[in-house]
Amino acid sequence: MDPAAVPISEVEVEVDDDIFTNFRIGSEEGWFVEWTDCNENDLPRKKFECEIGFEPPIFLTRTRLGWFINPDPLHNISRRLIMPTVLLLIVSLFIHAIEPGLVDLRIISSAIAGSVVIGPLEYPRLLFYTFPLFLLPLIFRTIANFRDMARQSMINENPYQEPTFTIDEDMGSPVVTIHGFDSDISLIRARIQVGVASPERSTILYSLGRSQFGQPSPGMSTVLSEKRVSPGDEVGLGVGESTPMQSTTKKSVILEPLRIMSRSQWVSDIEVGLPCKLCMPDENWPGSIYSSLIAIHWEVILEFEQNDGRRIAWVSPIIVPQSNGFTDIPIAPVISGRAELSDL
């Protein structure tokens, strides 16, 4: 909640060739990611050895490559109903506490005042009107989860044919050419998005001088020992689920948001076999880079429409070349960690 209070994780790594352009995303008063050259005047940092390259690691290709869907719209409806239904329940209990005076002043009718006896207990009569409304968010959430589960199982069991395309991964104006896709879906639009992937837990703990199985650093949770739920939960960098209910045995088809992420505008004028120029995000992002602490991840999204009118998207990582000069994004574009709130 307060990024300025979280300790900054810093390490010093050796790079053989000067192939990575320096960049800074955000500031030390907020969320902050920086890749910069070391100099003699810097404070001493822990030296760290890790692989640094341009190819996305396995955990990203496993979770961010393939077919994905948007969470059911009932998730957002459920969230919007939580606040009013809770307030309604509190108000009904408060009214019940002052019911005698309200009835005497004829503000409310005696028909809704008083209590109902069920067994040895009495329940406020108003709760029989307000409590069912209080349960609506839970009911909508349950329905949405079952819908998501059913659709995930359907896609995992009978996936569409992978679309074939080529993309000119240019920093200024990437061009995509769609060669073919499944005949049961129709291409709607495409865009590019870029974000900062979750760092590895072991690297953060090492940089902060903490032990692997000791007390977590501020801002980190403990590691889940059983199944993987999401990258943030697996490494202990996030608390709570990032995507709605998903299958425990199959790949999730709801794309998890990267906490720092930017997206380009959708491009709709796409025809099979013809090159199409895609937009780039508004911010001037650095090129692709992957390390255990900092990972800048680019991906292209091709959105299709199914025969039933629902949307499904193919997500594929792309390798964007390094920029010519220093890249600076003054304010980190932080988005919601919840998939249904992040407008993916």
Reported as a pLDDT band with limits 50, 70 and 90, residue 244 is low
Residue 157 lies inside a defined structural domain of this protein: no
Over range 166-186, report the average pLDDT.
Answer: 88
Residue 62 lies inside a defined structural domain of this protein: yes
Q: How far apart are CA 266 and CA 176, in angstroms?
A: 13
pLDDT: is 238 or 177 the higher one?
177
256 and 318 belong to one structural domain:
yes
Reported as a pLDDT band with limits 50, 70 and 90, residue 228 is very low
96 and 198 belong to one structural domain:
no
pLDDT at 85: 93
117 and 261 belong to one structural domain:
no
Amino acid at the residue 211: S
Total domain count for the chain?
2
Residue 88 lies inside a defined structural domain of this protein: yes
234 and 251 belong to one structural domain:
yes
Structure-block tokens of residue 6: 């979280």
Reported as a pLDDT band with limits 50, 70 and 90, residue 173 is confident
pLDDT at 319: 92
7 and 33 belong to one structural domain:
yes
pLDDT at 222: 74
pLDDT at 232: 45
Answer yes or no: is pLDDT of 109 > 50.
Answer: yes
52 and 167 belong to one structural domain:
yes
66 and 96 belong to one structural domain:
no
226 and 88 belong to one structural domain:
no
pLDDT at 230: 44
Q: What is the DSSP string of 16-29?
A: SSS-S--EEEE-TT
125 and 197 belong to one structural domain:
no
Residue 20 lies inside a defined structural domain of this protein: yes
Range of the domain at 111: 77-141
Over range 262-286, report the average pLDDT.
Answer: 91
Reported as a pLDDT band with limits 50, 70 and 90, residue 251 is confident
Residue 108 lies inside a defined structural domain of this protein: yes
Over range 59-68, report the average pLDDT.
Answer: 87
Over range 91-116, report the average pLDDT.
Answer: 78
Q: How far apart are CA 254 and CA 245, in angstroms?
A: 9
Answer yes or no: is pLDDT of 324 > 60.
Answer: yes
Number of other CB atoms surrounding residue 221 within 10 Å: 15
Over range 176-195, report the average pLDDT.
Answer: 93
Mean pLDDT is lowest, of 22-26, 69-73, 243-247, 338-342, for 243-247
Q: How far apart are CA 257 and CA 333, in angstroms?
A: 12
48 and 7 belong to one structural domain:
yes
Q: Which of 93, 108, 141 is the last residue of a domain?
A: 141
Over range 56-70, report the average pLDDT.
Answer: 87
289 and 177 belong to one structural domain:
yes
196 and 251 belong to one structural domain:
yes
pLDDT: is 96 or 288 the higher one?
288
Q: How far apart are CA 254 and CA 156, in angstroms?
A: 12
Amino acid at the residue 315: V
pTM: 0.83
Over range 2-24, report the average pLDDT.
Answer: 84
From first CA to last CA, the distance across the chain in angstroms is: 22
Over range 263-275, report the average pLDDT.
Answer: 91
Dihedral angle, C-alpha 148, 153, 156, 160, nearest 10 °: -70
Q: How far apart are CA 256 and CA 229, in angstroms?
A: 10
Q: Which of 140, 190, 137, 344 is nearest to 253 (CA)?
A: 344
3-class DSSP state of 334: strand
pLDDT at 227: 44
Residue 149 lies inside a defined structural domain of this protein: no
Query: 71 and 151 in contact (C-beta within 8 Å)?
Result: no
Quote the mean pLDDT of the chain. Answer: 84
Answer yes or no: is pLDDT of 344 > 80.
Answer: no
Residue 267 lies inside a defined structural domain of this protein: yes
3-class DSSP state of 6: coil
Residue 154 lies inside a defined structural domain of this protein: no
